[in-house]
């Protein structure tokens, strides 16, 4: 016990006396979550559009009014000729142009049909798509209001309802992902670096020529990072609740336990990396390339796993982060309990156990 | 029982680092491994401290086999690697405390053993180890290696990069430790330090050239050595090397150590030769052989 306390104290000295590791530990999580939360977003707000209105009647005016009062669009300019459409796009002033046909109102009454063309700048396909969807839904809305009381036969109205994230806030998607990345990074990279540092500076030689056992070194190395990672996880959850107003539907206790499980699996991976790398730099490269990229690309954090090619789908199964993200989304967004995520938890548990056994086995009791 | 090494060989892929090394260090002996960089000293230390496994041969430390009883050895030896290997971001006191803890002891328990050394660095006990001078670092490393009262102490080039005054102090400390029943194996590239050991092994290219007391090694040197000096050192060496009767020519501080092949060598003859080579201020005097001369002769 005295040995354990002595070792952990030493580790904390290392951490708190090194500005770089302090920054990685505490600066980065906050910066990342804020960046992902605010900067990277699929929502549109105040998009500049232009209007080309050939009819200029009561109906088009009403529709334009409706669009300009919504918070999604702001009307930047009115143009008069078709030829101007290209010009405004090229100047990059607007993202979309609404082109109302001639005699809009008249056609609507006569034929029950009128056309408005939505031309959007698809250099950014996601935004273009979203814009056209938003405009369509404003138009639908308008029509429904107009038709109130009027009976029309056989009309199918589809009513999409987005459950668990009704406003389609992208931060709901990013928080579990960013939390996973940060815990992975802090736990795996920092432990692998801290062990290889002992090798690089030669202190490992002295540790080896002492009665201290491999598992004592490993526990002593890992414990401070478990502690710091838990603090990180708490900070991230608090940030997402209070800044992004993201509710945690499920049990906070379960969230905590699952996080600790994931942290331990990442730490074990870190130890494994340290056994195969001789310098801090190698350890960092392996952690970044070997862990970060798969976590970002293959875990389902950004790209849905179901739309990946089959080989990648299979590979994604061996990435602990994939299972952790499923668990996180389940608890945070759907509010499910252990009975719905026991399978993922079990897989994560199995992986953690495997990594720990492997890393204790691979820990070298001599120099090479 | 001290250290027993028999027929140890070790290769790294193609390179043969140690070849058939055997020697014995008696209990309480101060034994020196003397040899240039790359002779295989560090490899030998690492085998004896259970950090590396030899390809061939056996070795025991206080009766424990380096391969099968490595756990026992790790409890009872103190090891100071060649490179300064303490935590640079911990203070002097924190380092010492940490090493005491991992050996399951406390600073107080074995304080009398390190007292002589520790009092010298105690004024700096709150300074980070990385900010100490070379001599201070070595003293701290020695304290850390001694804190668990080891039976055998392994010191791999402890005085490399340390100023002459600190080097002398360091060797005085080793002598005192010897009085406290500690067997010491020390390596050094400095020949002048060899004379301070009880016995030494001269090692080069992974092979032991000779093992004996420093006095005996010097005594066995059969040639007569002359200190030669002149106004131009570089030209002097070249001229001596070109001399037809030269046996060996080595720069040695401000002099050149010269030996001749003939037994009836007359220094005057050499002086005339050197004057012909346009050298002036020539002095040629007989001198005592040192361990360095012996080493150079054997390594020839």
Q: Does A202 touch chain B (CB under 8 A)?
A: yes
- In which domain, by residue range, is A185 found? 2-40+169-362
> What CATH code is carried by the domain that includes residue B47?
3.40.50.300
> Same structural domain for residues B264 and B125?
no
> Same structural domain for residues B256 and B150?
no
Give the pLDDT of residue A157: 62
B100 to chain A, minimum CA–CA distance in Å?
A: 9
Q: Does A203 touch chain B (CB under 8 A)?
A: yes
> Same structural domain for residues A212 and A350?
yes
Q: Does A207 touch chain B (CB under 8 A)?
A: yes
> Same structural domain for residues A32 and A61?
no
Residue A157 lies in a domain: no
Number of residue pairs across A and B with CB atoms under 8 Å? Answer: 76
Site from A13, A209, A220, A365 to mutate, B interface, most B CB atoms within 10 angstroms: A209
* CB pair distance less than 8 Å for B49 and A3: no
Give the pLDDT of residue B25: 95
The angle at the Cα of B240, spanning B236 to B241, to the nearest 5 degrees, equals 115
> Same structural domain for residues A197 and A279?
yes
> Same structural domain for residues A323 and A187?
yes
Contacts of A366 in chain B (CB under 8 A): 50-53
Give the pLDDT of residue B300: 75
Residue A160 lies in a domain: no
Q: Does A366 touch chain B (CB under 8 A)?
A: yes
Domain boundary among B199, B219, B239: B219
Domain boundary among A111, A146, A181: A146
Q: Does A13 touch chain B (CB under 8 A)?
A: yes
Give the pLDDT of residue A160: 67
Site from A205, A213, A214 to mutate, B interface, most B CB atoms within 10 angstroms: A205
> Same structural domain for residues A200 and A82?
no
Question: Tokens 């820990």 — which residue?
Answer: A363
* CB pair distance less than 8 Å for B46 and A367: yes
pLDDT in tens, chain B (300 residues): 789 999 999 998 888 899 999 999 999 999 999 988 889 999 999 999 999 999 999 999 999 999 999 999 999 999 999 888 899 999 999 999 999 999 999 999 989 889 988 998 999 999 999 999 888 999 999 999 999 999 999 999 998 888 888 888 899 989 999 999 999 999 998 888 898 999 999 999 999 999 999 999 988 888 889 999 998 889 999 999 999 889 999 988 889 999 988 888 888 888 899 988 888 898 899 888 888 888 888 877
Domain boundary among B219, B241, B270: B219
> Same structural domain for residues B235 and B126?
no
> Same structural domain for residues B230 and B262?
yes
> Same structural domain for residues A284 and A340?
yes
Write out residues in chain A with pLDDT < 70, as ranges: 40-43, 149-160, 162, 167-168, 368
B158 to chain A, minimum CA–CA distance in Å?
A: 15
Residue A29 lies in a domain: yes
Q: Does A215 touch chain B (CB under 8 A)?
A: no
Q: Does A7 touch chain B (CB under 8 A)?
A: yes
Q: Which of A154, A158, A111 is nearest to A136 (CA)?
A: A158
> Same structural domain for residues B115 and B171?
yes
> Same structural domain for residues B36 and B164?
yes
> Same structural domain for residues B86 and B38?
yes
Give the pLDDT of residue A224: 92
> Same structural domain for residues A296 and A347?
yes
Could you give the number of structural domains in chain A?
2
> Same structural domain for residues A334 and A280?
yes
> Same structural domain for residues A113 and A83?
yes
What pLDDT, in 10s, does the model give residues A235-278? 888 888 888 888 788 899 999 999 999 999 999 999 999 988 88
Give the pLDDT of residue A145: 80
Cα A243 to chain centroid, rounded = 16
What pLDDT, in 10s, does the model give residues A148-161? 766 665 656 666 67
Residue of A nearest to B86 (CA): A203
Task: Using alpha carbons, list the distances in angstroms from residue B81 to B115, B141, B207, B261, B300.
Answer: 22, 9, 21, 42, 30
Residue A54 lies in a domain: yes
Nearest to A6 among B79, B102, B144 (CB): B102
- In which domain, by residue range, is B30 found? 3-219
> Same structural domain for residues A197 and A133?
no
> Same structural domain for residues B137 and B211?
yes
Give the pLDDT of residue A239: 86
Residue A158 lies in a domain: no
> Same structural domain for residues B207 and B95?
yes
Could you give the number of structural domains in chain B?
2
Q: Which regions of chain A does DSSP assign to beta strands (E)? A: 47-53, 73-79, 96-100, 116-120
> Same structural domain for residues B35 and B166?
yes
* CB pair distance less than 8 Å for B94 and A10: yes
Residue A154 lies in a domain: no
> Same structural domain for residues B139 and B263?
no
> Same structural domain for residues A282 and A349?
yes
* CB pair distance less than 8 Å for B81 and A205: yes
Residue A208 lies in a domain: yes
Provide, rounded to the nearest whole percent, the portion of chain A with pLDDT above 90. Answer: 28
Residue A326 lies in a domain: yes
> What CATH code is carried by the domain that includes residue B253?
3.30.70
Domain boundary among B219, B243, B269: B219
> Same structural domain for residues B51 and B150?
yes
């Amino acid at each position: 016990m005295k040995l354990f306390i002595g070792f952990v104290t030493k580790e904390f000295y290392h951490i708190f006396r090194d500005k770089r590791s302090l920054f990685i530990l505490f600066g980065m999580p906050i910066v990342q979550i804020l960046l992902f939360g605010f900067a990277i977003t699929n929502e549109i707000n105040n998009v500049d559009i232009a209007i080309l209105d050939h009819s200029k009647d009561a109906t088009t005016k009403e529709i334009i009014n409706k669009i300009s009062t919504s918070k999604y669009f702001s009307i930047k300019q009115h143009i008069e000729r078709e030829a101007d459409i290209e010009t405004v796009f090229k100047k990059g002033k607007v993202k979309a142009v609404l082109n109302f046909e001639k005699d809009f109102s008249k056609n609507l009454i006569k034929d029950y049909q009128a056309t408005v063309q939505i031309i959007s700048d698809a250099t950014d396909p996601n935004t273009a798509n979203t814009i056209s969807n938003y405009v369509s839904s404003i138009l639908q809305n308008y029509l429904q209001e107009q038709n109130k009381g009027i009976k029309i036969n056989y009309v199918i109205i589809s009513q999409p309802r987005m459950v668990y994230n009704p406003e389609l806030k992208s931060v709901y998607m990013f928080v579990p992902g960013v939390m996973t990345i940060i815990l992975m990074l802090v736990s795996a990279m920092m432990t692998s670096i801290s062990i290889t540092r002992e090798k690089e500076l030669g202190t490992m030689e002295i540790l080896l020529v002492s009665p201290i056992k491999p598992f004592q070194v490993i526990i002593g190395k890992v414990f401070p990072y478990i502690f710091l990672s838990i603090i990180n996880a708490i900070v991230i959850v608090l940030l997402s609740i209070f800044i992004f107003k993201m509710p945690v539907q499920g049990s906070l206790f379960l969230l905590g336990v699952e996080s600790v499980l994931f942290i331990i699996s990442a730490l074990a991976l870190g130890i494994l990396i340290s056994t195969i790398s001789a310098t801090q730099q190698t350890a960092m490269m392996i952690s970044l390339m070997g862990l970060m990229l798969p976590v970002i690309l293959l875990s389902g954090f950004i790209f849905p796993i179901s739309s990946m090619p089959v080989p990648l789908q299979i590979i994604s199964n061996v990435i602990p982060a994939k299972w952790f993200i499923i668990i996180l989304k389940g608890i945070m967004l759907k509010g499910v309990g252990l009975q719905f995520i026991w399978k993922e938890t079990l897989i994560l548990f199995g992986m953690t156990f495997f990594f720990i056994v492997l890393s204790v086995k691979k820990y070298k009791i001599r120099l090479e | 029982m001290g250290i027993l090494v028999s027929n140890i060989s070790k290769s790294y892929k193609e390179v043969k680092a140690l070849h058939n090394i055997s020697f014995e260090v008696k209990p309480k002996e101060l034994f020196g491994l003397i040899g240039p960089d790359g002779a295989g000293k560090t490899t030998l230390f690492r085998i004896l401290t259970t950090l590396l496994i030899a390809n061939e041969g056996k070795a025991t430390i206080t009766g424990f086999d380096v391969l099968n009883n490595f756990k026992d050895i790790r409890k009872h030896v103190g090891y100071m690697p060649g490179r300064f290997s303490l935590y640079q971001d911990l203070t002097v006191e924190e380092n010492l405390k940490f090493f005491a803890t991992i050996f399951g002891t406390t600073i107080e328990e074995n304080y009398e053993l390190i007292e002589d050394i520790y009092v010298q660095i105690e004024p700096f006990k709150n300074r980070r180890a990385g900010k100490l001078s070379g001599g201070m670092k070595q003293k701290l490393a020695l304290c850390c290696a001694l804190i668990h009262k080891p039976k055998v102490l392994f010191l791999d080039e402890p005085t490399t990069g340390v100023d002459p005054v600190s080097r002398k102090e360091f060797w005085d400390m080793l002598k005192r430790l010897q009085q406290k029943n500690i067997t010491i194996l020390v390596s050094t590239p400095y020949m002048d330090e060899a004379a301070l050991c009880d016995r030494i092994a001269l090692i080069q290219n992974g092979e032991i050239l000779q093992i004996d007391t420093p006095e005996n090694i010097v005594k066995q040197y059969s040639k007569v050595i002359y200190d030669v000096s002149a106004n131009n050192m570089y030209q002097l060496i070249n001229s001596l090397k070109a001399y037809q009767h030269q046996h060996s020519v080595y720069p040695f501080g401000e002099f050149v150590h010269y030996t001749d092949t003939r037994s009836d060598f007359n220094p005057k003859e050499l002086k005339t030769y050197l004057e012909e080579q346009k050298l002036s201020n020539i002095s040629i005097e007989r001198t005592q052989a040192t361990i360095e001369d012996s080493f150079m002769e054997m390594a020839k």
